[in-house]
Structure 1
């Protein structure tokens, strides 16, 4: 005779999880739903930079090639957590036949300037930091978005960074972080 699961125990676990998620939602809704006004007068320490645009070449969206996809994927962890589409970088690495398709898709998105609406959604997961585990303030939220969307944005960001550096728009005396070769 097989053992019947304890329904009361399962209900209590489900109820605890439901309450915890509800409290987390209320906490973060209150914390991040308030509009914060920025006092731009306090930002006057930032020097005004007006690059000369006479020498600039026009920025064009370069066609994205399968080798660009492969190069970017090589720097990614294969077992990273997937977003709503459940596609990991590992899956994209294992199927190089998809690289040509993705390169075509990304180039078409550059032409139309309209990314897929599915890239605007993400899975938000609370990650426990420390302290009382029932207190939502002791969790930080992690947003897991589409791996394909992140891949596209990283390639686009790399192309834009190359353009800005090539045309001396980025002042390396002011900008040190997030630029290749600077630390």
Structure 2
């Protein structure tokens, strides 16, 4: 894998990808503030690069605030709440940058199989279901159900 490097444009792009309506993380920094000052974010860029080169993530960036989100039913029953962790926006931006770099390397190096649909850009669950339906239809059309399982496993 190539050396992971970020520049200002990468950080700005990552900030634009995050949802500004989400609440702040444990560091209480709002994404809207970071987006407003995205042009002068050399401090963030330095922090990302330091974390990458040293392999050390500061405790402040690893901390998260757990918020209970009501699902349905009786509001008095704790079972009806789903825990959601609010992590640092700076940490989220780093994740976006790392994910983009790693995924582009895997795609360029042809390390992702055609049958891989999870977490791959432009590969959706519906596409996977349609591909499986197509494979099943092809097998049934051949009327060769003795080899159904082996053919299906080969195509997925």
Normalised by the length of structure 1, the TM-score is 0.63
**What's the CA shift string for 1:85-119, capped at 9, x where partnerless?**
11121110111244222112211211111111112
Are positions 1:143 and 2:143 aligned together?
Answer: no
Partner of 2:22: 80
Partner of 2:50: 108
- For residue 130 of structure 1, the aligned residue among 59, 72, 89 is 72
Partner of 1:117: 59
Q: State the structure with more CA Rg.
A: 1
Runs (5+) with no aligned partner, structure 1: 1-58
Q: Relative to total residues, which structure has the larger helix share, 1 or 2?
A: 2
- For residue 182 of structure 1, the aligned residue among 123, 148, 156 is 123
List, as ranges, runs of 4+ consecutive aligned residues in structure 1 with deviation greater than 6 Å.
none
Measure the CA separation in 2 of the matches of 1:61 and 1:131: 50
Contact 2:26 2:87 in 1 (8 A): yes
How many positions carry a matched residue from both structures?
124
Cα distance, 1:177 vs structure 2: 2.5
Cα distance, 1:151 vs structure 2: 0.7
Does the C-alpha gap of structure 1 residues 98 and 148 become closer, same or farther in structure 2, counting only changes over 3 Å?
farther
